[in-house]
């Protein structure tokens, strides 16, 4: 009797998921989660691109938007595996807390998967797992449906190279999200030279309807021009510790000079 009731619940949830999967993601977020995305957030949610890089101001809501996408995928496609990689365990935990809040709005029970400390398990077999940015802790995951790299500009290069193969078999989706942090690393390289495979989304503080002009004026004086451009205007700035700026360094390299050959 109990088993039959549980099977009925699972069938009902599967039917509901099939219907909800037909909604556009932005519309699903509005109707099911009670979160109204702004126009850029809605465009990002409805994107079908397999490779997305988001270069956005602080406090734009990138974690909220990506958590909504993760919960939608997990709830509507059974046996999905969503991985969230952040520079530290605390950030991954914050992401999972937002996702857990969305699960509660859907009337779902919030529980872990039993194997990973920072995780959410769904009745349909889907999981969302949060990982800190340490390469040694993430090997072993495979067939990832959605891979989200939060604060990607601060995630180590070796970590990024270790997680990309997880998408090979599943042909999963990869989102890189961050505020800039200098002109080095895979986030900067992908934004500048990643090619047409990447959908690039840039949102400055002046384009964010939730950040007031008064606050930005105050921040300009408090942070100084360089930090303001980086944190709020999404510009890749040279590191303060460098003797020469990156443009001068790159200008010193020439392709037409033959290498010195020592007999």
**Burial category of 247 from C-beta neighbours within 10 Å (exposed 0-12, middle 13-18, buried 19 and up):** exposed
Higher pLDDT, residue 132 or 150 = 150
Q: What angle do CA 119, 44, 71 make, to 5 degrees?
A: 25
Q: Is residue 195's pLDDT more than 90?
A: yes
Q: Is residue 248's pLDDT more than 50?
A: no
Question: What pLDDT band is residue 142 in, cutting at 50, 70 and 90?
Answer: confident
Question: What pLDDT band is residue 257 in, cutting at 50, 70 and 90?
Answer: low
Mean pLDDT computed over 72-94:
94
Q: Is residue 255's pLDDT more than 80?
A: no
Mean pLDDT computed over 190-201:
97
For domain 25-251, give the CATH number.
3.40.50.300
Higher pLDDT, residue 191 or 135 = 191
Q: What percent of the chain has pLDDT over 90?
A: 75
Q: How far is the C-alpha of 50 from the C-alpha of 136, rounded, in Å?
A: 26
Q: Is residue 91's pLDDT more than 70?
A: yes
Is residue 45 within 8 A of residue 26, CB to CB? The reply is: yes
Beta strand pairing status for 51-56 and 173-178? parallel
User: What pLDDT does residue 23 have?
Assistant: 72
pLDDT digits (tens, 9 = 90+) for 199-246: 999 999 999 999 999 999 999 999 999 999 999 999 999 865 444 444
Question: What pLDDT band is residue 1 in, cutting at 50, 70 and 90?
Answer: low
Question: What pLDDT band is residue 133 in, cutting at 50, 70 and 90?
Answer: low
Which H or E run contains 26? helix 25-28
pLDDT digits (tens, 9 = 90+) for 10-56: 555 555 555 555 579 999 999 999 999 999 999 999 999 999 999 99
């Amino acid at each position: 009797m109990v088993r039959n009731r549980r099977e009925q619940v699972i069938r009902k949830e599967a039917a509901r998921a099939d219907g909800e999967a037909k909604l556009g993601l932005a519309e699903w977020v509005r109707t099911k989660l009670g979160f109204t995305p702004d126009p850029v957030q809605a465009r990002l949610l409805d994107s079908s691109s397999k490779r997305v890089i988001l270069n956005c101001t602080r406090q734009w809501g990138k974690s909220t938007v990506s958590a909504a996408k993760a919960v939608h995928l997990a709830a509507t496609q059974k046996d999905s595996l969503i991985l969230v990689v952040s520079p530290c365990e605390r950030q991954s935990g914050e992401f999972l807390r937002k996702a857990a809040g969305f699960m509660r709005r859907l009337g779902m029970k919030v529980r872990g998967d039993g194997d990973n400390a920072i995780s959410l398990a769904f009745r349909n077999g889907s999981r969302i797992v949060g990982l800190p940015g340490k390469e040694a802790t993430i090997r072993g995951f495979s067939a990832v449906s959605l891979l989200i790299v939060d604060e990607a500009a601060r995630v180590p290069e070796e970590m990024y190279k270790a997680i990309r193969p997880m998408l090979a078999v599943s042909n999963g989706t990869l989102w890189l999200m961050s505020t800039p942090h200098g002109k080095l690393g895979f986030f900067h390289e992908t934004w500048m030279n990643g090619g047409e495979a990447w959908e690039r989304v840039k949102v400055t503080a002046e384009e964010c309807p939730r950040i007031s002009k008064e606050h930005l004026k105050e921040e300009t004086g408090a942070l100084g021009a360089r930090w303001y451009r980086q944190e709020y205007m999404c510009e890749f700035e040279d590191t303060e510790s460098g003797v020469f700026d990156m443009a001068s360094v790159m200008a010193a390299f020439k392709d037409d000079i033959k290498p010195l050959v020592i007999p």
